[in-house]
Amino acid sequence: MTTKTGILLVNLGTPAAPTTAAVKAFLGQFLHDPRVVDLPRTLWCPLLHGIILPTRSPRVAKLYQAVWTAEGSPLMAISVRQRAALEQELTREGVDVPVALAMTYGSPSMSEGWAQLKEQGVNRVIILPLYPQYSVSTTASVFDAWAKAMKRERNLPVMRLIRDYHAHPEYIQALAQSVRRHWERHGQGDHLLMSFHGIPERYAREGDPYGDQCRHTGSLLAAALNLEEGRWSLTFQSRFGKEEWLRPYTDETVASLPGKGVKRLEVICPGFAADCLETLEEIDGQNRELFLEHGGEAFHFIPSLNDEAAHIRMMVSLICRELA
């Protein structure tokens, strides 16, 4: 039997529209995942469906409306471009493998992505979750979604999961190149803040390596940029609920920096492979306002790697390593 490999490029997902109903459906699927919120279902489900979704969905829908584009959700538009660019670059490298896009939550689902590959005769799949740092709440959820998609499959394909790439040299190089390009255009600021999505501190205590991998990425990026201690810091954003999350928190740090003499701040989010609500609205919106309100003079958000050529080439390197 001939082996044919396909690539499944996976990100978290996005609402289908910036409406309360669409956001509620998306958040309902996302927050119902035990990998994301691991509280007992008998406690969490009534709280989620009775209080959180009815109150949170309208607020989040307004935030999505602020970043929605003519192409739709920024994350989806960028992901579509990433998929096309990756397939094109693989072809240029002489690697003839189809690439499909899937989301852990929302559409296209993991099942839909697999169906596209299966129609092309694929029986070996390399799954690339676009999460540089591993976490139980992200990469492990991709694995769960794949397992669920396989439940009806009679003949399971061979599967390889790229677990993380937080220290991959080409990933660090692409981040550093992005920062240097920003400096060339705007000049170097007083401080570079690296903001990563947070997770509950308890997850780290229970063995999730995410926080350590974020700090490793940050140290490697600072070294690549020759940043001295005090010229950069690393924080965690997007906390949810009352539980303690990984510290230091991004918003608290941003508010404190002007008082420490930082007037020109640059913020990069190395853990996000594509710009989305958390980078465009939370960082470049809410945290920009926070910095300026507390005495900052200039706030510069450095976009995610998105479909930049160096980012796509890094993905090709990851895939070729798996193919070998």
Tokens in use for 313? 């080439």
Distances (CA, A) of 265 to 50, 177, 183, 187: 40, 18, 12, 11
Ordered mean pLDDT values, 10 residues apiece, the chain (324 residues): 93 98 98 95 96 97 97 97 98 95 98 97 97 98 98 96 98 98 97 98 97 98 97 97 96 98 98 98 98 98 98 97 92
Say what the pTM is: 0.96
The pLDDT value recorded for residue 191 is 98
The pLDDT value recorded for residue 156 is 97
The pLDDT value recorded for residue 127 is 98
The pLDDT value recorded for residue 324 is 86
The pLDDT value recorded for residue 241 is 87
The pLDDT value recorded for residue 202 is 97
With b meaning 16 or more CB within 10 Å and e meaning fewer, what string describes 173-202? bbbbbbbeebeeeeebbbbbbbbbbbbbbe
Q: Closest by alpha carbon to 174, among 313, 37, 279, 76?
A: 313
Residues 35 and 156: beta-carbon distance below 8 Å = no
The pLDDT value recorded for residue 312 is 98
Alpha-carbon span 16 to 33, nearest angstrom: 19
